[in-house]
Structures are given as C-alpha cells and as structure tokens.
C-alpha cells in the first residue's frame, strides 16, 4: 500500500489528496520566465502562490533547462539566501522545499532557514554526500530518476529508484518521495510512455511527485512555446493524477489547484 503520510517537523502531512508544489526560481535563466523572481519581493510572490492554493513552496537557484550551465556553489547560495531569509521571516510555518543537487546547500537551507524538504533532481548522483546529509537532517527527500546511462523503460526506472531507496533507508532516511524525472535524460516518447504507465511505480509504495509543468514534452509535441503551454499542462496534470500523483510541481498554482479539485470531486462521486 502506497505511503500517504510524510513527517514535516513533527507534523504529519496527508498526501491522500493531491498537494500543489509551487516553483519559485531565484535564477535569471529559468526556461519559463513567469516563475522567475524579478522586481517583486519573494514574500509577495509567495503570498500570491499561497492565495492560489499552494501547499509547498519549492525554491531553486540553479536552472535545469537544457544547455544551461550550473552556477558555482557560492553563486547558488548567494542567490538563495536572501530569498530564503525573506520568505521564512514572513512565513515561519509554511512548507519550504529546496531544489538543489548540492549537499552543502541543502544542509545550510535546512539548518539556517528551516527548509522542510530536499528536492534533488540528480537522484543523489551529483553529490556523493547528499544521501548521508538527508539521513542526518532527517527531512523528506524527493528522489528523482535521472540516469544518463540507462534505458527508460518502467522496469529500468523502478529498478533505479528501488536501489536508491534501499541506500537511503540503510543510511536512516525515513520520508522519501519518488519522481520519475520527466524531461531528464529522456526522449519525447519516453516521457509520454512514463506518464501513461505511472501506476507501475506503485510497487515502490511511496508518494509520487510529478513535474511536467510547461515542459518540452508538451511544447515539442504541440509545437508551442512554454508561455503557451498552460492548457496542455493542465490537461497533462489530469493524466498524472489518474496515474496516482500525490504532488504536482507547477508554475501555475491556480490552474493546478482547480484541476486537482475537479479530479477529487469526480473521484469521490464515482
């Protein structure tokens, strides 16, 4: 049976109804300009996201768009710290996630600003210390499938995730959320195959996060830009929810929240 609860600083968060994770990019070069912090205060932007129904705020300062060059660790923290400081001072109790593949960045974010979740798109492969850091900090960890040297059949993805889960659990990590990594080292057909077979991941018995918001799997298929991909994103979110997604990681909170509300209504009316 899939785990439905995660522990956030002693609070049990029920994922049996889907949660919305809002993307906040402290970067100048994220692929979708609408998620970047420009001249608006981070706290004002987060208030807007919360008003629209966000349950989790995911903050990152290292773009993962294709062809981007990661900033140095120092630059990543320089971008992150004022954003974390401003948001946490205004919202001491909201659930914050840090989007980073660097263990030291994750540790500082948790220890200095009370970040609640670590979201590592490398699956712990980019930094050998990440898994030990997660176990030491005792915070939930989003484990992403992102393997450049592996096929992307569902069996391969399950095997990769299971091996990484075993390592995390041996080290003492407790709350793990899985992400099949749509868009990461995957072809267009890979992405759609995964989205249509999400139920295969239920064998891992862990909460499932899906991040497909405005991604190229949508824009390339429909020959549109990221700015034009809201309708496609919302439609794909319904498929993700049908596949068992517990968390949707999104740029557009209001639309995702409405999709989740409609899906729950239909599900509970059957």
Q: Give residue limits of the domains in the chain.
A: 5-269
Average of per-residue pLDDT across 16-35:
77
pLDDT digits (tens, 9 = 90+) for 81-123: 999 999 999 999 999 999 999 999 999 999 999 999 999 999 9
Is pLDDT of 36 > 60?
A: no
C-alpha 187 chain-centroid distance: 20
Query: Given this model, what pLDDT does residue 206 score?
Result: 97
Beta strand residue intervals within the chain, DSSP E: 5-8, 11-14, 19-25, 56-60, 95-99, 117-120, 141-144, 176-179, 209-210, 247-250
pLDDT score at 148: 84
Residue 33 has pLDDT above 60, yes or no: no
Give the tens place of pLDDT for each residue, 221-255: 999 999 999 999 999 999 999 999 999 999 999 99
In this prediction, what percent of the chain has a pLDDT beyond 90? 83
φ, ψ dihedrals at 31, nearest 5°: -65, -25
CA–CA dist 247, 123 (Å, integer): 17
Average pLDDT over residues 37-51: 86
| Residue 260 confidence (pLDDT) above 80 | yes
Q: How far is CA 228 from CA 54, 68, 162, 218, 233, in A?
A: 22, 22, 36, 10, 10
pLDDT band at 263 (very low <50, low <70, confident <90, very high): very high
DSSP letters spanning 39-91: SS-HHHHHHHHHHHT-SEEEEE-S--STT--PPPHHHHHHHHHHHHHHHHHH-
Just give the CATH number of 5-269.
3.20.20.20
Rounded-to-integer distance, Cα 138 and Cα 19, Å: 21
| For residues 41-57, average pLDDT | 96
Q: Given the structure tokens 């807007």, which residue do they identify? A: 48
Q: How confident is residue 31, by pLDDT bands cut at 50, 70 and 90?
A: very low
Q: Are strands 5-8 and 11-14 parallel, antiparallel or unpaired?
A: antiparallel
Residue 61 is encoded by which pair of tokens? 């300062």
What is the pTM (predicted TM-score) of this model?
A: 0.93
Rounded to an integer, the average pLDDT of 176-202 is: 96
pLDDT of residue 32: 47
């Amino acid at each position: 049976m899939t785990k439905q609860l995660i522990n956030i600083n002693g609070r049990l968060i029920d994922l049996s109804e889907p949660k919305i994770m809002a993307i906040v990019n402290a970067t100048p070069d994220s692929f979708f300009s609408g998620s970047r912090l420009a001249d608006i205060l981070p706290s004002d932007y987060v208030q807007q996201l919360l008003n629209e129904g966000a349950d989790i705020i995911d903050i990152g300062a290292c773009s993962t768009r294709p062809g981007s060059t990661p900033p140095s660790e120092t630059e990543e923290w320089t971008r992150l710290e004022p954003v974390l400081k401003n948001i946490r001072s205004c919202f001491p109790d909201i659930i914050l996630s840090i989007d980073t593949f660097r263990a030291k960045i994750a540790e500082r974010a948790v220890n200095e600003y009370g970040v609640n979740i670590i979201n590592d798109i490398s699956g712990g492969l980019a930094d050998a210390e990440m898994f030990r850091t997660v176990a030491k900090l005792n915070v939930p960890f989003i484990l992403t499938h992102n393997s450049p040297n592996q096929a992307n059949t569902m069996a391969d993805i399950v095997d990769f995730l299971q091996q990484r889960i075993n390592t995390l659990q041996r080290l003492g990590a407790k709350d793990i959320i899985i992400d099949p990594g749509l868009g990461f080292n995957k072809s267009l057909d890979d992405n759609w195959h995964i989205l249509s077979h999400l139920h295969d991941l239920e064998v891992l018995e862990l909460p499932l996060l899906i991040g497909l918001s405005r991604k190229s799997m949508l824009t390339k298929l429909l020959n549109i830009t990221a700015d034009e991909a809201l309708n496609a994103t919302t439609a794909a979110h319904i498929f993700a929810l049908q596949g068992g997604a517990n968390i949707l990681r999104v740029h557009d909170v209001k639309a995702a929240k409405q999709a989740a509300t409609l899906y729950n209504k239909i599900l509970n009316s059957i």
